Structure 1
């Protein structure tokens, strides 16, 4: 009985700590994308979603910096991405709005730069995102 109580207590503590640790992860924050094929720059908010990470499109701007409205504002860009350690993140799904395709993302964090890569079959694309805020 004592062992069962201890195991339950450990499980509760872990379930409380894991989301808190994910929230403090260096990938969490607001990131600015490179211009896409329409020359739009987006701001992506990366948050802890349970013990993984998700990204949501916050806003979009034209090349002059003027905010533009698109139907994608507020939509999730990626979800279920996990930290793999050493600044690497992967798994989950990444939605590419321009072609309406989901790919498996690979992300590499280096300071305030995040390289985001996704492939569908043999076709791959990547961007470097810059941190705007934590």
Structure 2
């Protein structure tokens, strides 16, 4: 009985850690200007995550874009409950925006914002790994 109670107590303490949706992994971007990418997101210092373009695709298949290897998700800091804040780069116009990520399961809502985060454009990414 003590073993069962201890197991239940440990499970309760690990629930908050499991509730935080982790961005680390591989993601497929939404099509933007006729192309999409596979982005690898990894930890990049003091609890933050960053993402780099690893593969690019268009309507004819995979191609070697000049953007492969470039960072697209920059210094995203976790805010709790699958939410992150940092910066995002949009390759099609070569601009960096205030970035917001919301992760729920295998879906990510990624926003690039201006005007202090008041006006945002959004993309939906899907986890592939």
TM-score, with length taken from structure 1: 0.74
For the residues of structure 2 that align with 1:120 and 1:129, how far apart are their CA atoms? 20
For the residues of structure 1 that align with 2:40 and 2:48, how far apart are their CA atoms? 14
For the residues of structure 2 that align with 1:63 and 1:107, how far apart are their CA atoms? 27
Offset at 1:42? 0.4
Contact between 1:41 and 1:63, CA under 8 Å: does it hold in 2? no
For the residues of structure 1 that align with 2:59 and 2:28, how far apart are their CA atoms? 13
Contact between 1:58 and 1:74, CA under 8 Å: does it hold in 2? yes
Candidates 27, 32, 36, aligned match of 2:28: 32
Count of residue pairs the alignment pairs up: 108
- 5+ residue gaps, structure 1: 1-20
Whether 1:76 and 2:71 are equivalent positions in the alignment is yes
TM-score, with length taken from structure 2: 0.77
**113-122 vs 39-48, which moves further:** 113-122
**CA displacement, residues 101-120 of structure 1 (integer Å, 9 cap, x when unaligned):** 11011000010000000112
Which of structure 1's runs of 4+ aligned residues deviate more than 3 A? none
| Structure 2 counterparts to residues 100-115 of structure 1, below 5 A | 100-115=94-109
- 5+ residue gaps, structure 2: 1-16
| Structure 2 counterparts to residues 30-109 of structure 1, below 5 A | 30-37=26-33, 39-50=34-45, 51-64=47-60, 66-91=61-86, 93-109=87-103
